[in-house]
Structure 1
């Protein structure tokens, strides 16, 4: 009688150990899965952040080389720019705006901050800019300020601004 009781108790102890091992394995697997998903999301955001910074640098280099018309190259089709008390809407309107006598100017800027949405397809930058204008006599005037640009990843994978 005692041995049957011991055998039953041993089986119960063994099954409790198996249950404990199963629960532990399940919890560890769940934690690893959560960490893995989180790491993938963080990687996507970090990658998007780097892509936006590179786009900002490419944008500034294009403006330096091609002039203000480069704004149209980096604008989304539905982009909007705010210039003083005026909103210029659409890529074509932006091209017309910068094509009209903006050749005696130079623009430089530095993105000091970049943030990206959790989905990784929308971001914004801000920082300082200097806009230098040369009048007909050759005198230059610097205008400085803070810029804020909203970027959207396009279907082709390129980043274009939708607000500047």
Structure 2
């Protein structure tokens, strides 16, 4: 009887350990995806970077505007010739569902113009695709005072 309980416990522990390793790997993947998107924004522009990592059902939330729903609608919502290349962001924290298929990052963003720097927070929901890549499902943010004050 004790052997039976031991085997059940061992199987439970092994499954839990494997799930934990998968979740940790997924967590590192979405943090990397978030940081890579920020780096890409300085190269090709903020909106173009989001578009390149957006899921087809992407939703973009913005201050004072209605949500933009769908990757195509988002692509049509901005002028590619004047896309902003001076915005960066850095994740502070992230979480991933136990399934390893959905997660979020949140952090601070900074937008520099010629004479002013703006600050804010953001949250991005990430969805893991069948090919293993992480795509933005929802992104939004708000303005804040300088966090270093």
Per the alignment, residue 153 of structure 1 pairs with 128
TM-score, normalization: structure 2? Answer: 0.84
Aligned length: 137
Give the whole-Å Cα distance in 2 for the aligned partners of 1:115 and 1:81: 20
Higher radius of gyration, 1 or 2? 1
Q: 1:113 is matched with which residue?
A: 93
Match of 2:54 among 47, 68, 75: 75
Residue aligning to 2:104:
124
**Maintained 8 Å contact 1:59/1:74:** yes
**Structure 1 length normalisation: TM-score?**
0.77
Equivalent residue for 1:12? none
Q: CA deviation at 1:100?
A: 5.1
Cα distance in 1 for residues equivalent to 2:84 and 2:50: 15
Q: Give the CA deviation at 1:104.
A: 4.8
Partner of 1:99: 79
Compared CA separation, residues 24 and 44, structure 1 to 2 (3 A):
same
Following superposition of structure 1 onto structure 2, how do residues 24-35 of structure 1 map, counting pairs within 5 Å?
A: 24-35=2-13
Select the structure that is richer in helix: 1
Note the residue ranges of structure 2 that are not aligned, 5 or more in a row.
140-149
* Residues 1:102 and 1:142: Cα distance change in structure 2 (over 3 Å): farther
Residue 143 of structure 2: aligned partner: none
Residues 72 and 92, structure 1, Cα contact 8 Å, conserved in 2: no
Structure 1: 5+ residue stretches without partners: 1-22, 134-138
Q: Secondary structure at the match of 1:30?
A: helix
1:15-54 to 2 correspondence within 5 Å?
23-54=1-32
Q: Which has the higher contact order (CA 8 A, sep 6+)?
A: 2
Residue 41 of structure 1 aligns to a residue whose secondary structure is helix
